[in-house]
């Protein structure tokens, strides 16, 4: 069990006390969020847990923003409209579809939120890699077109010329294509 600073808010005092007690039992430092300005307390936090009867726009914004920054966020809410659920899930918020109970396994919810954040970060990294590969592929296709037009090559010969030059200059095919296109546009 790792010690961590978990921010929490519940719109009912009894639920706030229950959440603080449960977090403490699992060895976390529960930090109550001030309803007036919760943003100032977010720095240095290891997670956020919310239990709201009525999820206001400010709490929704805080939850989605912190989740998008990679902070594990768990929201206990038993009656959210579907469009809000989708918005929160898309941002990376872990939704628990019931109110916080007396024997709630908050540690399991925190672990789940951390796991989901890790998976989300991997997906975002993979997506960025795929977007980069797609961009490189487009550069290669455009560079082949330039070579075909300028030197009267067919597609296969243009590709072989690009590949050969890339190996000769120790560049990736995409980088060589990008440089060739930049040089061609400058002329």
Mean pLDDT of 147-159: 93
Give CA 163 to chain center in angstroms: 35
Kindly report the pTM of this predicted structure: 0.69
Q: What is the pLDDT of residue 137?
A: 94
Distance set, CA 100 to CA 12, 20, 33, 91, 164 (Å): 11, 11, 17, 22, 63
One of 3.40.50.2300, 3.40.50.1220, 3.40.50.300, 3.20.20.80 is the CATH number of 5-104, namely 3.40.50.2300
Q: Where are the domains of the chain?
A: 5-104, 127-186
Q: Are 73 and 48 in contact (CB under 8 A)?
A: yes
Query: Which fold is adopted by the domain 127-186?
Result: Arc Repressor Mutant, subunit A (1.10.10)
Q: Measured between alpha carbons, how far is 26 from 4 in angstroms, rounded to an integer?
A: 10
What are the tens digits of pLDDT across the range 109-118? Answer: 888 888 898 8
Mean pLDDT estimate for the chain: 89
Q: Measured between alpha carbons, how far is 109 from 114 in angstroms, rounded to an integer?
A: 9
Q: Do the domains 5-104 and 127-186 sit in the same CATH topology, yes or no?
A: no
Q: Which pLDDT band holds residue 80 (cuts at 50, 70, 90)?
A: confident
């Amino acid at each position: 069990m790792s010690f961590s600073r978990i921010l929490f808010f519940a719109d009912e005092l009894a639920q706030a006390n229950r959440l603080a007690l449960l977090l403490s039992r699992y060895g976390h430092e529960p930090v109550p969020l001030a309803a007036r300005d919760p943003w100032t307390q977010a720095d240095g936090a290891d997670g956020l847990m919310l239990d709201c009867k009525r999820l206001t726009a400010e709490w929704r914004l805080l939850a989605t923003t912190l989740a998008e920054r990679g902070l594990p966020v768990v929201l206990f809410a038993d009656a959210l409209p579907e469009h809000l659920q989708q918005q929160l899930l898309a941002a990376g918020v872990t939704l628990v579809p019931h109110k916080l109970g007396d024997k709630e396994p908050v540690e399991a919810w925190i672990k789940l939120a951390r796991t989901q954040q890790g998976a989300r970060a991997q997906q975002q990294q993979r997506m960025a890699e795929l977007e980069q590969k797609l961009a490189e592929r487009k550069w290669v296709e455009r560079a082949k077109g330039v070579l075909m037009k300028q030197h009267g090559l067919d597609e296969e010969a243009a590709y072989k010329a690009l590949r050969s030059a890339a190996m000769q200059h120790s560049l990736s095919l995409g980088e060589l294509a990008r440089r060739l296109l930049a040089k061609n546009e400058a002329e």
